[in-house]
């Protein structure tokens, strides 16, 4: 599918810093908006329905799957998560940019449907650092941390299928890298031609 807007898909094992990076990107760039996913997990802390996620029941999720409302959905850490068509299509069809922060299975599905989507994998600098970030976060029990590390090994084995890789060693450097990917995408011939149609016309180039 071809749309004027850009679709960025960011995946990473938990603890690699994906959410903080995507949040910082959106604060710096108002043209890029998140897609709000649906999930069957319960809200945590200050999370609000319609902001972080649309929190739905298992039957509601089933009904959406049946109605073909999702571009992709996956089981992640014991819950179901899905990206609705509605969450992205309208915006990119109007030329807006959308960023998806989803797991690697979903990211690879998105690439099949939206062949122009740009996939980005965030790597931690080392296993030791990933483990210590998960421990410092203080959200998970030691058993859950072990499970997340085991899952991370599976996830990292898929990194070669992504278009770009960012190593999140130094946050400032990683956000610079993410901005560079977004910026380069907007400088592609087709994107510039759309954004600066008048200039192209005045220069008499196709």
The verdict on 3 binding ligand 5GP (CB under 6 A) reads no
Among 5, 92, 98, 101, binds ligand 5GP (CB under 6 A): 101
Name the strands in the sheet holding 79-84, side by side, starting at the edge strand that comes first in the sequence.
53-55, 37-39, 79-84, 70-76
The verdict on 69 binding ligand 5GP (CB under 6 A) reads no
C-alpha distance from residue 197 to each of 4, 31, 95, 158, 206 (Å):
13, 19, 13, 38, 10
Shortest separation between residue 97's beta carbon and ligand 5GP, angstroms? 17
Shortest separation between residue 101's beta carbon and ligand 5GP, angstroms? 5
Is 22 or 182 the residue whose CB approaches ligand 5GP more closely? Answer: 22
Rounded to whole angstroms, the Cα distance separating 192 from 94 reads 15
Largest CA distance in the chain: 64
Shortest separation between residue 73's beta carbon and ligand 5GP, angstroms? 6
Rounded to whole angstroms, the Cα distance separating 71 from 131 reads 32
Query: Binding residues for ligand 5GP, per CB under 6 A?
Result: 14, 37, 41, 72, 74, 76-77, 81-83, 101-103, 105-106
């Amino acid at each position: 599918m071809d749309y004027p807007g850009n679709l960025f898909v960011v995946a990473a094992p938990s603890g690699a810093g994906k959410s903080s990076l995507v949040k910082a990107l959106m604060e710096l760039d108002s043209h890029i908006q998140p897609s709000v996913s649906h999930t069957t997990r319960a809200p945590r802390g200050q999370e609000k329905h319609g902001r972080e996620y649309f929190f739905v029941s298992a039957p509601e999720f089933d009904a959406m799957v049946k109605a073909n409302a999702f571009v992709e959905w996956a089981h992640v850490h014991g819950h179901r998560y899905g990206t609705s068509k509605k969450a992205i299509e309208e915006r990119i069809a109007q030329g807006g940019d959308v960023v998806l922060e989803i797991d690697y299975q979903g990211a690879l599905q998105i690439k099949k449907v939206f062949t122009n989507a740009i996939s980005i994998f965030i790597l931690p600098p080392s296993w030791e650092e990933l483990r210590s970030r998960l421990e410092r976060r203080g959200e998970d029990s030691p058993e859950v941390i072990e499970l997340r590390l085991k899952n991370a090994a599976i996830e990292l084995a898929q990194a070669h299928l992504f278009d770009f890789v960012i190593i999140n060693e130094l946050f400032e450097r990683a956000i610079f890298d993410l901005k560079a990917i977004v910026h380069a995408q907007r400088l592609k011939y087709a994107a510039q031609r759309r954004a600066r149609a008048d200039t192209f016309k005045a220069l008499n180039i196709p």
